[in-house]
Structure 1
Amino acid sequence: MNIVLIVGSAPDAIRIQDWDLSGITSCVVINNAWQLIEHWDYLIYPEDFPVDRLPSSAVLAQKNVITAKEFVPEQNHFGGFVYAGGTMAFTAGYWALGALKPDVIAYLGCDMVYSQATVNPTHFYGVGTPDPLRADITLQSLEAKSVRFMAIAQMNHCRVVNLSELPESRLLFQKVSFSKLMSLTEKRQLDDSDLNLDANIVSKALGIEEKLSYMAPSGRYWEVIDHFDPMKLSEIDSLWLSSVA
């Protein structure tokens, strides 16, 4: 199977260092997560990512780097940043879905749960900025955005799972162990519980998105933020959440 692993920077992500990734088709690391392992395939990061946090030019020359030039068209293909949620965990997912055509997308280190005490590590490298929790009308409900991605993935013949062992996650994907993921020979061997989305509600949510047409072709939705009604987006989020059985 074509299995894509997407790795973020939560403290839980350090578990990847103990894994044999030979059964993973592609490993996509987000932002600083390239520091966790040597053998990754794609590094994806936003336009404002600090240059001094990138790998050396020698490393980059041997790897695939995904920037806005590559991920914005893929994101727009699936409805754009306003509906998908303006944070890299979702952007990486939509890019991988469109560009890599996986059977399964597995997330690690992307639970987007942060300690209230800033003295505790928020990322594997220490205390970082909880970007997904910023005041942003596209991120009113991270849970709803995860359901949207799961629904879009299903429509594209892809299953989405979460490899996290944390007790809490903002991602509503089915949780599986890495060993189970590696034992799969068919994606239908995964539990079907995450397929129980109400098709009528999914269709209604997508229909409202299309009617409103909240698009920012450049990907820089914050430059035209006044064109979008946060209440309408909240209503769409409520639909996504209500589609979950």
Structure 2
Amino acid sequence: MTKPVLILGSAPSVCAVQSWPKSQFSAIVAINNAWQIREDWDYHIAPDDFPAARGPQSLRAGQQRVTSAEYVPANNAYGGILYAGGTMAFTAGYWALAALAPSALVFAGCDMVYPKGGSTHFYGTGTADPLRDDITLRNLEAKSARLLLHAAEQNCACLRASTGESRLVFPSLTEADLPRLRSVKIVSNTAQFAEIKAQEKALDYVVPSGRYWASRKNISPARLDALDEAWLGAVVT
């Protein structure tokens, strides 16, 4: 039986999962700088422009790097990055769905909420990548809803390891909930899911290379916004 996958982001709240038992997870995926949070991660995933000097300089036995050569095709299998959202938390989620077939995706330090003062990341102050002006990131809640529903189609739950404010529409959990993760109820409206996927296919906003910013496709923000609203409306709470 598959186990949950823990995905580590860089928000200060990620420190809360430093001591969560590895035995509860089939794998730990560290995004960008988050490999520093704990030594027992399995996969380091980062964009091509992530500075090599800030990544792990050596790998332990069993550890692997995940690059665009792996995560772009994985995202394409779920419709492509223009629909999925061009920030690494979502990219890592779809890659994990494709590559690891988890029973749940648990996101820590990925709430995409940035205080105006103080530390924005566990290492201090960083760039709020999900808040940049980008056609794929106009509605972060909707992008998280889309990921949640795609995961549900694979009998995989999406959860967040935080209880405060979040742009993710996932249910919260604490360490005490870990033993019950396999019994999380997954609700999905199959007909509505298929209808929205058909709308995406009809728009054909697919850029196989993943480099949507360099594409000559005529992308309509209004049509992407309509899709976002549809995904949000499809979430069963």
Q: What's the TM-score, normalizing by structure 2? A: 0.94
Secondary structure at the counterpart of residue 29 of structure 1: strand
Q: May I ask how many residue pairs the two structures share in their alignment?
A: 235
Secondary structure at the counterpart of residue 174 of structure 1: coil
Structure 1 residue 159 displacement after superposition: 1.2
Match of 1:134 among 126, 132, 135: 132
Instruction: Give the structure 1 partner of residue 120 of structure 2.
Output: 122
Aligned-partner Cα distance in 2 for 1:149–1:225: 26
Name the amino acid aligned to 2:103. D
**What are the within-5 Å matches in structure 2 for residues 96-245 of structure 1?**
96-117=96-117, 120-165=118-163, 167-181=164-178, 183-184=179-180, 187=182, 189-190=183-184, 192=185, 195=187, 197-224=188-215, 227-245=218-236
Aligned-partner Cα distance in 2 for 1:138–1:161: 22
Aligned-partner Cα distance in 2 for 1:50–1:61: 23
Aligned-partner Cα distance in 1 for 2:22–2:149: 27
Q: What's the TM-score, normalizing by structure 1? A: 0.91
Aligned-partner Cα distance in 2 for 1:242–1:55: 40
Aligned-partner Cα distance in 2 for 1:176–1:83: 27
Q: Is the 8 A contact 1:42 1:63 kept in 2?
A: yes
Structure 1 residue 17 displacement after superposition: 2.0
Instruction: Give the structure 1 partner of residue 71 of structure 2.
Output: 71
Instruction: Flag structure 2 segments of 5+ consecutive residues without an equivalent.
Output: none
Measured at CA, do residues 240 and 61 of structure 1 come closer, stay the same or move farther in structure 2, by a change above 3 Å? Answer: same
Secondary structure at the counterpart of residue 13 of structure 1: helix
Aligned-partner Cα distance in 2 for 1:126–1:109: 13
Supply the RMSD in Å over aligned alpha carbons: 1.6
Aligned-partner Cα distance in 2 for 1:130–1:31: 13
Aligned-partner Cα distance in 1 for 2:5–2:99: 11
Structure 1 residue 60 displacement after superposition: 6.5
Instruction: Give the structure 1 partner of residue 50 of structure 2.
Output: 49
Q: Percent of aligned positions with the same letter in both sequences?
A: 45
Aligned-partner Cα distance in 1 for 2:10–2:88: 11
Aligned-partner Cα distance in 1 for 2:136–2:116: 22
Name the amino acid aligned to 2:154. N
Q: Is the 8 A contact 1:201 1:242 kept in 2?
A: no
Instruction: Give the structure 1 partner of residue 31 of structure 2.
Output: 30
Aligned-partner Cα distance in 2 for 1:115–1:15: 18
Aligned-partner Cα distance in 2 for 1:9–1:59: 20
For residues 80-123 of structure 1, give each alpha carbon's deviation from its aligned partner in whole angstroms, at most 9, with x where no partner exists: 00000000000000000000011111111100001123xx1000
Secondary structure at the counterpart of residue 233 of structure 1: helix
Name the amino acid aligned to 2:206. M
Q: Is the 8 A contact 2:42 2:62 kept in 1?
A: no
Higher helix residue share: 1
For residues 178-201 of structure 1, give each alpha carbon's deviation from its aligned partner in whole angstroms, at most 9, with x where no partner exists: 2212x13x73x22x3x62x54443
Which deviates the most, 228-237 or 154-163?
154-163
Structure 1 residue 55 displacement after superposition: 1.3
Aligned-partner Cα distance in 1 for 2:17–2:159: 15
**2:17 equivalent to 1:19:** no
Q: Is the 8 A contact 2:142 2:228 kept in 1?
A: yes
Structure 1 residue 29 displacement after superposition: 0.3
Measured at CA, do residues 94 and 35 of structure 1 come closer, stay the same or move farther in structure 2, by a change above 3 Å? Answer: same
Aligned-partner Cα distance in 2 for 1:113–1:83: 21
